Amino acid sequence: MRQHSSCPAPNAGQVPEPRRGPRNSRASAPSFVARMALGVWLLLFLVPIGVAHPIPDVPLRSFFEADGSAVIKIELDTRCFSQDPEAEPYLFLEDYLRLSEADRDQLRAQARAYADRILQLSFEPGGAARPEWEFEFTTFRGRPLTRADDPVMMTGSWRLKDTSGLTGYQARSLPEAELSLLFLNYYQGEILRGIQVLFPDETSRVLDLSNLAEAETGDPDQNLIEGITAPGNWATFTSFIRSGFVHVVPLGMDHILFVLGLFLLSRHWKPLLLQVTAFTLAHTLTLGMAATGVVHVPASVVEPIIAGSIVVIALENIFYPRYTSWRLLVVFVFGLVHGLGFAGALSQLDLPAAALLVGLLGFNLGVELGQLTVIAAGLLLTIWLRDPDRYRKAVVIPGSLAIAAMGAYWMIERVFF
């Protein structure tokens, strides 16, 4: 294949690409077996931490009204109740309809126990409260189940008749929580600025209940730039930076392996920079489109393609170990799909324009920081190995074999299980 014009020339101060030379036929078989053995070992290490169907963060939405009444809602994925949630398939409407009433009651009990285990609500004055959750079966954002392929969520509601004597409200994500908690508050149907992402053992800021009528809202009809730069949205921005980062490191193992696949093609800075830039532009585009509702592709379609993209990139490293313009196009196309995979963290929140754009900017920045962390780790772990032939035999081939095998495993799992 033709060398791309932007690929740097050899001996330009970078780590050189592997050279093609004559092979020793007597040593090739043992070397291949050794590389296969290392690849299998890496595969066995990665399988237990593979993520088949990522579980979104837990939204906690609190709705306050001018008459002092309030409804606090929490939305739980039924997979959270399993010992291995990420290995569980979604509970879809068609499966839910086959459940007995006893099975549904058991899910309600599990939901109440899970909510108590991961979340603590507090009011001022009064201290910690014990919510009396009433759970119902819905799909995302508390919407009714209508289609056979609707994922079943459990939406718990706690109704408060009068909060007029309360001055403050906050939420704490307990140390036992496995997922992040999204802290969203509304007054008379308008979302308040300052959305927070609470990681385990973190506590939200105190929401001033005595002055809700004067609180800043995220009204989408306000000037968009003014809304983005409002002080209350800084908390949203910083929270989503962290959320984007952890969706790559450590939670996004499939995205980590894809980025490592890009890294293993070449340690030259130009091919690496061009690939990462193409990937970034592509997933930024579809992340924004999916989060704003412009496009919607079911996870059952997106996730197998993401797994397949890992296989393709890894096998290219083995059979076509040169950077070309074709590689850049492949990376861009697969980046579009990965953006749809990232969008699950934002697309179900139903945020107004300003808050959504702030969240998108923060989340995308966090994703980029996660990707750079993966690449930096790859460079630090391999910088000592400068001989190109040894690097290819010891790192590129076994690493790419392991990545391809992991991608194939995920693809089969996501299609058939």
Q: Taken in order 343, 344, 350, 355, is the CA torsion positive or negative? A: negative
The pLDDT score that the predictor gives to residue 348 is: 63
Q: What is the largest CA-CA distance in the chain?
A: 85
Q: Which residues of the chain have pLDDT under 50?
A: 1-53, 219-229, 231
The pLDDT score that the predictor gives to residue 217 is: 59
The pLDDT score that the predictor gives to residue 28 is: 45
pLDDT digits (tens, 9 = 90+) for 332-352: 999 999 988 887 666 666 666
What b-and-e string marks burial along 28-64, b requiring 16 or more CB atoms within 10 Å of the CB? eeeeeeebeebbeebbeebeeebebbbbbbbbbbbbb
The pLDDT score that the predictor gives to residue 351 is: 65
Q: H-type helices in 266-394, by residue range? A: 269-291, 299-319, 325-342, 344-347, 353-382, 388-391
The pLDDT score that the predictor gives to residue 349 is: 62
Q: Are 196 and 224 in contact (CB under 8 A)?
A: no
Listed by start position, the domains of the chain span 25-52+247-416, 58-215
The pLDDT score that the predictor gives to residue 29 is: 44
The pTM of the full predicted model, rounded to 2 decimals, is 0.64
What is the DSSP annotation of 27-41?
HHHHHHHHHHHHHHH
Residue 348 to residue 180: CA distance in whole angstroms: 15
Directed axis angle between helix 397-416 and helix 25-46, to 10°? 40
- Phi/psi at 169 (nearest 5 deg)? -150, 135
What is the DSSP annotation of 41-78?
HHHHHHGGG--SSPPPPEEEEEEE-TTS-EEEEEEEEG
The pLDDT score that the predictor gives to residue 344 is: 66
Q: C-alpha distances in angstroms, 152 versus 88, 102, 146, 293, 342?
A: 13, 17, 10, 20, 20
Q: Are 189 and 199 in contact (CB under 8 A)?
A: no
Residue 248 to residue 221: CA distance in whole angstroms: 33
Q: Are 238 and 362 in contact (CB under 8 A)?
A: yes
The residues, ordered by sequence, that sit 6+ positions from 158 with a Cβ below 8 Å of its Cβ are 71, 72, 73, 131, 132, 133, 134
Map tokens 């992402």 to a residue.
197
Map tokens 């754009």 to a residue.
357
Rg (CA), the chain: 24
